[in-house]
Structure formats: structure tokens, C-alpha cells
Structure 1
């Protein structure tokens, strides 16, 4: 297979933000009278903003509207990105290198505001050709919608794309979209073994990606 595009997840792949999302959501739930539940972190991985904000209210009992819960969490995340962006090692360099010979996109469960803030602080706004949030396509991961939209946004066939993911729900979404999937497991929230069964290859670090993609051609 000769890939025509590479589509990156954001959280856990390009930014070390999974723990930050988790901490901020826990703070919001506690501040508004809710109760965190075992497994809540894993359940929300890949959810779109409308999905996880409803979960904070309806399942964890935060005493505010879903819209207000989303606004509170996203505002705090945006402040952290603007003051101390949690870029992972080699993230910007890897995207830039691949973009020299292959169009790249971002397909993320992060809100569009957070994706744009990342692109600005990482100086990648002119490099990433298309970026989409699952909140813009209706269904979050593990549904394939956000990956299929990213392929359409680049004007390529999903089956000719490489997807780069870290979480179980993200891996399932990319596989369901029919893409060749590279896993870069998040050490803090590693995917279950069964989620890795259908991926093309598991990488030890993001810096390995350019060579791995080139090996497909």
C-alpha cells in the first residue's frame, strides 16, 4: 500500500493531555457536587464533547448543565494550552516531516477550539491541511465518523490513509474507517490488548512513524 495521507489523533499522540483532561474533569465533577466513578476515565476516552459533558452530568452527577460542564472543562484546558502546551516529544517535528511528502490531517475527540489552539502554539496551522473534531461530525470514537470526515476533507479514500492513534476507542475508530492503523500506546492509559489486534503495527515512540510509513511504499 502506498498511503496518500496520514491522519493523526491529538490527545495522547501529539499532546500529553489525557491526564490533564482527566484531572480537570475530576475537578469540575467534584466542584459541582458529583461523584467520580471507577472506569469513568476509560469510558470517556474518544467521546465527543456533547457525549462526555452529558456523561459528567447524567452519570457522574455534576450539578450543572451539560453545556456549562463542557464550557468549564474546555476553558481550563485552553488556558493550559496557551500557557504551558503539553506537546509530546517529536510531535511537531514528526508532523512536519511527514507533511513534506504526504498531506496530513488531525481527527480528534478534542473540541475544535482546543485543536486550533494546539495548531497555533505548535506552529502547525500551515502544515496540517485539515482538522476535525468529533463534536463536528456527531458521533465520537469508537465510531469511525471523525476519521471518515478527515479523509473526505483531504479529498482522499479512507482505505489509502494511515491513522495514528493511542487509545482503544481511537484504534477501533480508525480500524472501522478502513485505514492502516499505527498504534503509539499511551503509557498512562494503555489500550487493551484486544484493541491492538487489528492495527498494522505498534510503535514505541512517535519518532518511529516517518520510517514506518515510508516502509509501506
Structure 2
């Protein structure tokens, strides 16, 4: 039984991971820090406070985390104002899903950027609950944000389907007890052990049909 569907945002509805990487990588370089080979993988799923501390302390930015967060988010907002990197089929997938179940959004993006995306796309009314990992104790791969969204929706986590793409997101949704549908991005593929946690793996959002969300097969 499915009582609700919970979407991730970055990498699921918008192709924002390349933008986040470009913005944060440039920010670190300008501050005299050093970007590490595994930095992007580690950052995916972190809450704002977590990645701001990571840039400040681990990557050598040397500015207070709250300053790092504000400056990076400003740059991201400016990039979104230039062009919102919507993924193919995102708006349609949300609309057809919202016609069947209440929707939640469990995102690692800050609330400011979540609002920007949902208002720009006109999708804000489709979501009954939206939450950022800023609003819970720990970011992904901890299950906190998924559990909080299910609680606000008034449903058991085990009756929710989560739509995810990243390793940390897949782990978070699985640990929360949700059925997990993975829509991996080729540029930032999840680790094999994380992908193995998904109940279904789709090639794109066009395959995210009502039948698939109910547990049916993917028709290709």
C-alpha cells in the first residue's frame, strides 16, 4: 500500500549537482582552499550546516561556516535566476504523481532554494510538505528528513515511496523504512552498495508512472 510519495530535489527534479560542484569548487579555490578528489561525493546529501563546516574546516576556506553558507547560497540563487536546470520529465512526473497521492519533498537544499525551484516551476501547490535537512538534526545518509516528512504527512514511513538519486539519499530513504525508487544520474552515479538498496531503478522520470509507484514493473 502506498500512502504518500516523497521526492528528493537535487538530482531528481533539477540537475543541480553540476551547479553545486561548480559553485563550491570555485568558492573554495577563490578562498585559497583545496578541493579534494572525493569532495563532491562526500558533499551530496549533507545539510547546509554540515557542508559549510566541511568547506570551512576540511577544505581550508577558513571563514566561519555561517558566512560560507550564506555566500555559497547567494551564488546558487544567482545561478538559478539565470537558468533553472530542470531535469526532463520532472514537472510531468510530479503532476501525475500528485494526482494519486499526497507528496512530500525531502531535500538537502536550503529552504530558500527549495522555494525558488518550486515557485519558478509552479509545483509548490503540488507538495503537501516540503522540508530541508536544515530543519532536522542530521543530513542524509541519516534518515531524519524522511522521517520528519512522513510525520508531517501523517503517514507511516513504510507506506511511503521515496524517489532518490544519490548514494546518501538512497541510504537515508532506505534507513527510514521507505520503499525506494532510484533515478540515478550518469554524471554522479550512486555507489553500487547504495544502489542495491533501491527496490526499483529507473532510467529517467518518464518511467516514474503510477503503476511503477504501486510496485509494478517498469515498461521499456
Q: Deviations along 1:188-214, whole A, 9 cap, x unmatched?
A: 110011112221111111111123114
Matched, 1:212 2:212: yes
- 1:126 partner SS: helix
Partner of 2:114: 115
Aligned length: 215
Task: Report the TM-score when normalising by structure 2.
Answer: 0.95
Gaps of 5+ in 1: none
Partner of 2:65: 66
Q: Could you tell me how far apart the structure 2 residues matched to 1:9 and 1:179 are?
A: 13
Partner of 1:3: 2
Q: Contact 1:82/1:121 (CA < 8 Å) preserved in 2? A: no
Q: Could you tell me how far apart the structure 1 residues matched to 2:81 and 2:150 are?
A: 29
Give RMSD over aligned pairs: 0.9
**Displacement after TM superposition at 1:88 (Å):** 0.5
Q: Deviations along 1:160-201, whole A, 9 cap, x unmatched?
A: 000000000100000000000000011111001111222111
Q: Could you tell me how far apart the structure 2 residues matched to 1:10 and 1:69 are?
A: 22
Partner of 1:181: 180
Q: Contact 1:105/1:128 (CA < 8 Å) preserved in 2? A: yes
Q: Could you tell me how far apart the structure 1 residues matched to 2:58 and 2:205 are?
A: 35
